[in-house]
Amino acid sequence: MRRFYYLSSCDTCQKIMKALNLPSDVELIDIKQTNIDAKTLDWLKEKVGSYEGMFSKRAMKFRSMGLHEMKLTEADYRKYMLEEYTFLKRPFIIYDDHIWIGNAKKEIESAREFFAKLN
């Protein structure tokens, strides 16, 4: 699997995509148009270790829905990410068994180094 899940209206995602110089075989998926599917999310969870690690607590809906006041379970995180793209940390980068989630400097630098070696 070679995919880049991003939000097309997100400037940060756009900058990251350009900086990584992704190979042409990477499928670009705008999560607003096509949210992540359950099979892929579950596969990622196995690699990452938790749904919470892929969940964006910065999403505006996190507070507006009162989720910040609730004790969410792993099942809750999964449910919300499948229902609403805004709860996904972004971007999600999958290249075979290599995975990077979110826009933390450490994640993006690791991905940049990986893709630089491929080119």
Q: Determine contact, residues 32/90, Cβ cutoff 8 Å.
A: no
pLDDT grade for 100, boundaries at 50, 70 and 90? very high
pLDDT grade for 27, boundaries at 50, 70 and 90? very high
pLDDT grade for 72, boundaries at 50, 70 and 90? very high
Q: How far apart are CA 17 and CA 39, in angstroms?
A: 24
pLDDT grade for 118, boundaries at 50, 70 and 90? confident
In the predicted model, is pLDDT for residue 94 greater than 90?
Answer: yes
Domains of the chain: 2-10+20-101 (3.40.30.10)
Q: Find the mean pLDDT for residues 51-70.
A: 94
